[in-house]
Structure 1
Amino acid sequence: MTGTGARTGRWACRGVRSALAGLTAIGLAVTNLPLLVISVVVLILTPVPFLGLALVPWTMSLVRMRADLERRRASRTGVLVTRPYHPAPERAVAGGWQRFRWTVTDPATWRDLAWLAPGAVVGCGLGAIGVLVPLYGLAGIGLTPLWIWLGTGWYGYGAIWSVDTLGVALLCLPQGAVILTVGLSVAPWLRRVDAHFARLFLAPTRTAELRLRVTQLTVTRADTVDAQAAELRRIERDLHDGVQARLVSLRMVIGLADEILDRNPTGARKLLAEALESSGAALVELRHLVRGIHPPVLAERGLGGAVRALALSLPVDIAVEVDLPGRPDTPVESAAYFAVAETLTNLIRHSRARSGSVTLRHEHGVLSIVVTDDGAGGADPEAGSGLRGIERRLAAFDGTMALSSPPSGPTVITMELPCALSSPKTMPSSVTD
């Protein structure tokens, strides 16, 4: 019963949210027509010197803001609508020819304008159905006690029938419940229909998708090259300032001990003891460096075991849930591990969290990693907290990162990496201590 009640509650909440979203859709759809009228007037005034250069880009930016808002609303229903616009020229200024040309030569501009009128009609229509049907059902449910309380027959229930007797009033209760149930069930479906309709106009064409893909690959390739160069510089710096310095010192100490061995055996033994200690420290630093390149625990136990070992080494209680029927390719596995490690490092340093969790799953060809904490929230990728580095690391494998961190918490970071998993039979055997 508890599970059934929870599912019913989730269904009702989803239906209510969708109905309220339909009300929002009506309000937003109303703004489409004024935007369309303003756009048409501005385009007519384009030949007027200087006026068109200034007004057309400004007006189209308003249209794009409205279209972007619709894309975000569609994405909340699970219908992904990517922004299709050409990147702005580097030297484009407001009121300049380059900005005007960038705006009017982009096919997405005209697709946005073509969507305004039908988008208003579909948004208002579907939104009205999603709102009015549940309200009509609520009216039927509330009509019975209202009629009994008023004790009169003048109150009618819409156009279905008029209530003039108690028996007829009692029939409104089950009818209203059925209509409310149907309305709440249909409301999410109406939202998705509206989202798919918007996608017809606002999503990039196949040519635009290829262009966006090329742009994305160019950016991620540059980021990957920069990240690799920075990593090589870090390894070189660690070797030069750490292990190499200790080895040089070790060589000098051993050489000095060799010089004084015959005349001062006691001093030579002290120097050799110091050399032994220095060699141990160098070995520890070298092991840390190797772990930073590719942790042995990752190769031995896989991503799940490595994340569990990492969580156990932290001063905060981190729950780890792993549902991986196999192992990703080594580069993807390494990127996922270091992304989790960087995320948990941020959790320790910045969130003031008392506990957290890491969930690893693989579904439909995507490795999903969700890291949560009960800290103060307010994480910002622009604040230099390492989140941009995580994004660049994932982008090299077409991965994405989504962040939810309201000021009062909690923080939820969702990372996704498209990849295939190897068969469990081909996985290396785990090493037990």
Structure 2
Amino acid sequence: MTRDALEALDRLAGGLGTAVLALFVTMAWTVTLVSCLTGVGLLALPGMIGLTRSVADRERARLGRRGDPVVSPYGEPPEGGWTEQMKAAWHDPSVRRDLAWTGIHATMGLLLGLLGLALPIMGLRDLTYPLWWRLLPAGEAGSSLGVPAQTWPAVLAVGLSGVLWLGLALVLGPRLAVLQSLPGRRLLAPHASVDLSARVARLTATRAAALRAHAAELRRIERSLHDGAQNRLVAVVVTVAAARRALARDPASADPALERAQTAAEQALAELRGVVRGILPPVLEDKGLAGALSALAAGSAVPCGLSVGELGALPLSVEATAYFTVAEALTNVARHSGASRVDVEVTWYGEALRITVGDDGRGGAREGGGGSGVGEGGGSGLAGIRRRVESHDGTLVLTSPEGGPTRLAVVLPVTP
């Protein structure tokens, strides 16, 4: 919950920045429209439209860093003079949507950003107030709301109110961030036809990746069976045949051969169990996702903290993808990160399952090699996790600066 509140605070601060820009653009539009009455402002209209588009694109980029990307609907700028540019803007619904967003974000987005930042500031200020209130000049000691507090009972009450403000920041912060970004996601997204085309292209790519991942998985299973269990079983057959011949000639010499056959059969059985676990771990069927993740955390070579929210009933494919994501991430942490601790968190995120794996290692993890951490692993590390995640239309974000820490965030949509 604290991590969600910190992320929301970061989003609100970013939204406050674009809201300030939107406020300046709104004020500039007011001046331009007033000056149009004298004809002077008409020449500034194309520039104002470009300025509005620039601020809207900044908001699109901001929203894309914290969720699904918001694709810009604009193509090449129209050619020609003032008349052609104004005609193109008049017939482009995206321009009107940008203008509507600018007005909404300059007011509601600004207020929500200020409120979201004010709550934790007021909380920290009032919570620490008993430590420094005596340093204030006489008559100026009071709470964040300006209520006088110059006696110890009143000072302690102000300190308790700080806890209340921080609690409100924890609870309301994520909701305020969602509410602040809602107009941008509704108004700055491209037209339905453009969005559908992008969606079809993305689905085509993810389905192709899923087919490649499926083929790679079949090849892995075939290699495991051919190079492992099959060779063991062939050895069992050969050893049993030798034992039968020895039994006919010298019964006493058949016992070592039978013992070797039993050992080879046990090894083949163990390898077959390993192949089955690689397809679908039995622990998922026995204990569910929460229990399976607990087993992974308990067996992790690096001390692992696990937090699993109330998950409810999940499709088996989502559970398997979540399990293998955490298993691969923990394996990579143990092999490459040099971390002393790793934390795994699995919670609901809207209508999706969010998985975060973070370690305090040396960082620098990269897909396909180079660096260390949850994303490292050469052929099967981050690339393998990404293939599994994208086959479910999920998203994967890796943050791993040099020196650490490393954080892997996966979001898996859950459909009934």
Taking structure 1 as the reference length, the TM-score comes to 0.61
Shift of 1:248: 0.9
Q: 8 Å contact 1:400–1:415 — kept in the other structure?
A: yes
Matching residue of 1:317: 303
Q: 8 Å contact 1:235–1:289 — kept in the other structure?
A: yes
Matching residue of 1:288: 274
Q: Does 1:380 align with 2:359?
A: no
Q: 8 Å contact 1:381–1:388 — kept in the other structure?
A: yes
* Deviations 1:302-333 (CA, angstroms, capped at 9, x unpaired): 11111111222221111222223533122221
Matching residue of 1:394: 389
Matching residue of 1:70: 59
Q: 8 Å contact 1:367–1:419 — kept in the other structure?
A: yes
Shift of 1:413: 2.1
Shift of 1:121: 7.7
Shift of 1:215: 1.2
Q: 8 Å contact 1:250–1:275 — kept in the other structure?
A: yes
Task: Give the distance between the partners of 1:233 and 1:16, measured in 2 at CA.
Answer: 44
Q: 8 Å contact 1:358–1:370 — kept in the other structure?
A: yes
Aligned pair in 2 of structure 1 residues 28, 388: CA closer, same or farther (>3 Å)? Answer: farther
Q: 8 Å contact 1:114–1:201 — kept in the other structure?
A: no
Q: 8 Å contact 2:52–2:102 — kept in the other structure?
A: no
Match for residue 235 of structure 1 among 221, 230, 235 = 221
Q: Runs of at least 4 residues of structure 1 off by over 6 A?
A: 13-17, 27-33, 37-41, 62-66, 110-135, 170-176, 187-194
User: What 5-or-longer segments of structure 2 have no aligned partner?
Assistant: 29-42, 76-88, 123-135, 148-168, 370-375
Aligned pair in 2 of structure 1 residues 204, 318: CA closer, same or farther (>3 Å)? Answer: same
Q: 8 Å contact 2:210–2:388 — kept in the other structure?
A: yes
SS of 1:379 mapped into structure 2: coil
Aligned pair in 2 of structure 1 residues 260, 409: CA closer, same or farther (>3 Å)? Answer: same
Equivalent residue letter for 2:71: R
* Deviations 1:198-242 (CA, angstroms, capped at 9, x unpaired): 546531221122212211211111011100000000000011100
Matching residue of 1:271: 257
Task: Give the distance between the partners of 2:340 and 2:225, measured in 1 at CA.
Answer: 35
SS of 2:401 mapped into structure 1: coil
Identity %: 36
SS of 1:262 mapped into structure 2: helix
Taking structure 2 as the reference length, the TM-score comes to 0.63
Q: 8 Å contact 2:18–2:59 — kept in the other structure?
A: no
Match for residue 402 of structure 2 among 401, 404, 407 = 407
Matching residue of 1:358: 344
Bigger Rg, which one: 1
SS of 2:284 mapped into structure 1: helix
Q: Does 1:218 align with 2:204?
A: yes
Q: Does 1:83 align with 2:71?
A: yes
Shift of 1:405: 2.6
Shift of 1:251: 1.0
Q: Does 1:338 align with 2:333?
A: no
Shift of 1:266: 3.2
Task: Give the distance between the partners of 1:292 and 1:235, measured in 2 at CA.
Answer: 8
Match for residue 206 of structure 1 among 166, 170, 192 = 192
Q: 8 Å contact 2:304–2:341 — kept in the other structure?
A: yes
Q: 8 Å contact 2:71–2:189 — kept in the other structure?
A: yes
Aligned pair in 2 of structure 1 residues 403, 111: CA closer, same or farther (>3 Å)? Answer: farther
Aligned pair in 2 of structure 1 residues 38, 213: CA closer, same or farther (>3 Å)? Answer: farther
Task: Give the distance between the partners of 2:390 and 2:11, measured in 1 at CA.
Answer: 33
Shift of 1:335: 1.5
SS of 1:275 mapped into structure 2: helix
Which moved further from structure 2: 289-298 or 310-319?
310-319
User: What 5-or-longer segments of structure 1 have no aligned partner?
Assistant: 1-5, 42-59, 89-106, 139-147, 150-165, 179-184, 422-433
Q: 8 Å contact 2:56–2:102 — kept in the other structure?
A: no
Aligned pair in 2 of structure 1 residues 263, 395: CA closer, same or farther (>3 Å)? Answer: same
Q: How many residues align?
A: 340
Shift of 1:393: 0.9
Q: 8 Å contact 2:362–2:405 — kept in the other structure?
A: yes
Q: 8 Å contact 1:319–1:356 — kept in the other structure?
A: yes
Note the aligned Cα RMSD (angstroms). Answer: 5.0
Equivalent residue letter for 2:398: L
Shift of 1:341: 1.1
Q: Does 1:252 align with 2:252?
A: no
Matching residue of 1:155: none
Task: Give the distance between the partners of 1:357 and 1:65, measured in 2 at CA.
Answer: 39
Task: Give the distance between the partners of 2:353 and 2:14, measured in 1 at CA.
Answer: 33
* Deviations 1:355-402 (CA, angstroms, capped at 9, x unpaired): 222222236432222222222223233546422322221222222223
Aligned pair in 2 of structure 1 residues 114, 79: CA closer, same or farther (>3 Å)? Answer: farther
Equivalent residue letter for 2:61: R
Matching residue of 2:293: 307
